[in-house]
């Protein structure tokens, strides 16, 4: 039986036993995971069938045609796009079996405790401390810019486990229960008026050693795998032609001819071509992923995504003139997910400003592309070989 034959047989069986019209979303997604149709390239028993990654598109198409519910990536982007591939790559069998299924069904939402007030772009400089105490680690510190922490049950956490080691070597990676005592989530209000980001304070939080992902001191390697997945998830998402930010700008151009002028037309055409190139590059990158884990190429795609989002949202405001100054809602809200396309132009313009910071700053991504993709000499670093505790902060 070929991979496609097996997929079609399993999808037919799933639909026969769980009619989408009468089966609840969570129940259906649990059955889909158990059938190996969550991520077909994952191993058998962990939501997959051990097949080629590109066959997932066939699964998704068959289920969509049947009207089946899908997992809500907008509610759990960090869990699905970052935690799942990292747990698969570095987790123990027990961790994989415990976390992957409720992560896929979105019964458990995840967030990311990486950035800190003094360690954002320089992530290896994190100061949050994890001190071993018997079978537990006691964690103290502050994290910031944590998307969705107010809704999260679990977090992927990077902490300093050995301050005597050089900064990249003294880190360990943990799975943190956000309901544990000592975890304090506080909202950060953004320029949009919303508070989708948070700062998180960790005070004597006890994390069992069984919730460590990877070896002690392997945190930088594990975190890099997470970040490579994140950049693909942000910049390489599958979209149709004129999907994403180019869509509303193109619709406005077609529907309101009185707003047009030649200079804006030329700018729109150039950005339309760039958006289509980025979309096709993303499709090629996803095909490459079938052969292994994400690499530094995802950084280039995320860099392009941020630039295009900001240029397109700016062009949309210029095109709309005074109408572009309208803003629908300044109410302090705690949204479950970001909806760039379903909101007005003013929101898109303001929210896009964060695209060049979240998921890796554009400055850092340019360094990654230069050094790891183009092979340029690395920037001089004055912190090599120096224990983290001796570095100025």
Residues annotated as catalytic are: 230
Contact assessment for residue 138 and residue 130, using Cβ atoms and an 8 Å cutoff: yes
DSSP string, 75-109: TSHHIIIIIHHHHHHH--HHHHHHHHHHHHTTSS-
Cα separation, 159 vs 170, whole angstroms: 9
Q: What are the structure tokens assigned to 320, written together?
A: 């709309």
Residue 373: strand, helix, or coil: helix
- Give the position of tokens 């800190």: 116
> Phi-psi bin for 171: left (phi > 0), alpha (psi -120 to 50), beta?
beta
- Please list, residue by residue across 22-54, b when 16 or more beta carbons sit within 10 angstroms of its beta carbon and e when fewer do: ebeeeebbbbbbebbbbbbbbeeebbbbebebe
Query: Rounded to whole angstroms, what are the CA distances from 53 to 45, 79, 84, 158, 162?
Result: 16, 18, 15, 28, 37
How far, CA to CA in Å, does 34 sit from each of 21, 90, 255?
Answer: 19, 21, 46
Are 57 and 290 contacting, i.e. CB atoms less than 8 angstroms apart?
no
- The span from the CA of 39 to the CA of 99, in Å, is 14
């Amino acid at each position: 039986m070929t991979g496609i034959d097996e997929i079609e047989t399993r999808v037919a069986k799933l639909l026969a036993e769980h009619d989408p019209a009468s089966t609840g979303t969570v129940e259906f997604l649990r059955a889909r995971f158990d059938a190996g149709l969550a991520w077909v390239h994952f191993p058998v028993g962990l939501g997959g069938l051990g097949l080629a990654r590109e066959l997932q598109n066939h699964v998704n198409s068959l289920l969509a045609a049947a009207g089946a519910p899908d997992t809500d990536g907008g509610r759990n982007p960090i869990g699905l796009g970052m935690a799942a591939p990292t747990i698969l790559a570095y987790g123990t069998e027990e961790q994989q079996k415990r976390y992957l299924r409720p992560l896929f069904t979105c019964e458990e939402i995840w967030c990311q405790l990486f950035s800190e007030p003094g360690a954002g772009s320089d992530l290896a400089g994190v100061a949050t401390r994890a001190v071993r105490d018997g079978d537990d680690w006691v964690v103290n510190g502050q994290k910031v810019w944590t998307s969705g922490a107010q809704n999260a049950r679990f977090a992927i956490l990077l902490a300093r486990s050995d301050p005597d080691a050089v900064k990249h070597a003294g880190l360990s990676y943990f799975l943190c229960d956000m309901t544990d005592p000592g975890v304090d989530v506080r909202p950060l209000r953004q320029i949009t008026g919303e508070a989708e980001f948070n700062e998180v304070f960790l005070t004597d939080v006890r994390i069992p050693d069984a919730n460590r992902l990877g070896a002690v001191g392997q945190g930088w390697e594990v975190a890099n795998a997470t970040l490579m997945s994140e950049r693909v998830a942000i910049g390489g998402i599958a979209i149709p032609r004129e999907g994403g930010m180019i869509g509303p700008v193109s619709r406005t151009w077609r529907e309101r001819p009185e707003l047009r002028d030649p200079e804006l037309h030329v700018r729109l055409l150039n950005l339309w071509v760039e958006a289509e190139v980025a979309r096709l590059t993303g499709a090629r990158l996803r095909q490459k992923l079938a052969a292994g884990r994400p690499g530094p190429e995802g950084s280039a795609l995320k860099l392009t995504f941020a630039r295009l989002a900001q240029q397109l949202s700016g062009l949309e405001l210029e095109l709309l003139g005074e109408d572009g100054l309208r803003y629908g809602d300044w109410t302090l809200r705690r949204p479950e997910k970001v909806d760039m396309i379903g909101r007005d132009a003013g929101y898109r313009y303001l929210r896009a400003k964060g695209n060049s910071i979240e998921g890796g700053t554009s400055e850092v991504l340019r360094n990654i592309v230069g050094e790891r993709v183009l092979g340029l000499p690395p920037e001089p670093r004055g912190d090599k070989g120096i224990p983290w505790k001796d570095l100025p902060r």
